[in-house]
Amino acid sequence: MADKVRVGVMLSGRGSNMQALAQYKRIADPAFEIVLAASNVPEARGLVLARRFGIKTWAMSHVGRDRAEFDRLVTDELRRHEVEVVALAGYMRLLSPDFIRAWQGRILNIHPSLLPAYKGLDTHRRALLAGEDYAGCSVHLVTEELDDGPVIAQSRVKIRGRDTPESLAARVLEEEHRIYPQALDSFCRALWEADQPTISSALKK
Ligand code: GAR
């Protein structure tokens, strides 16, 4: 696609999902392009990876800042880059209601569980302790309730008898890298087809 939906990725750490999103254009002609990687952790490895892909980066520590004020700064930066869709990729910080409202229906997240099961943190350890047969990952739209928005893609991973949280996380992560780019692509394609060519101007209002 020539005219792509402008995506801002938000991350806090390793950045392997950001990398999977950035690499997707090697195997497909995605409807999105990543125009910014933003982080609340200035030393996040994901920012280094993003720069290697030629993606612009922005970072500011949230420490000592009010959540709503910090999120306003992030929104300003996303708007400066004319971002249309926000993809959370290991962004380990709650978003303020104002931020979610500002990007209503245009924030996606990847979560390492089969939502609605195991919202929050430490999902693999909790799934193992509960004796589940399957773990997995979900791509969902972000709403004001934590890990609660509509699921748009999901992948199941069979739990093995000897799994540890780490071994399970590694297999689930492979699935995250497979489904997140596809889900973001489908989402952006649908958005583009519905809104074009006014998507950017609509967001600026
Ligand atoms: C991923 O497993 C992602 O699903 C999870 O953090 C990891 C980030 O890894 N996200 C959450 O738990 C959000 N609730 P990455 O930085 O290598 O993409």
The whole-number pLDDT of residue 192 equals 87
Whole-number Å distance, alpha carbon 112 to ligand 1 midpoint, is 7
Q: Is the bond preceding 42 in cis, omega lying within 30 degrees of 0?
A: no
Of 183, 141, 186, 199, the C-alpha closest to 3 is 199
Q: Which residues line ligand 1 (CB under 6 A)?
A: 11, 13-17, 46, 89-90, 110-112, 173, 176
Residue located nearest, by CA, to atom 10 of ligand 1: 90
Q: Is the bond preceding 116 in cis, omega lying within 30 degrees of 0?
A: yes
Of 5, 64, 14, the C-alpha closest to 39 is 14
Given the DSSP bridges, would you call strands 85-88 and 5-11 parallel, antiparallel or unpaired? Answer: parallel
Structure tokens at 159: 């739990």
Of 174, 140, 130, the C-alpha closest to 156 is 174
CB-neighbour burial class of residue 10 (10 A; exposed 0-12, middle 13-18, buried 19+): buried
**Residues of the chain predicted below pLDDT 50:** 202, 204-205
pLDDT digits (tens, 9 = 90+) for 119-147: 999 999 999 999 999 999 999 999 999 99
pLDDT digits (tens, 9 = 90+) for 83-111: 999 999 999 999 999 999 999 999 999 99
* Ligand 1 atom at minimum distance from 20 CA: 18
Name, in order, each residue with C-beta under 8 angstroms of 71's C-beta and a sequence gap of 6 or more: 95, 96, 98, 99
CATH 3.40.50.170 fits 5-199, yes or no: yes
The domains of the chain are located at 5-199
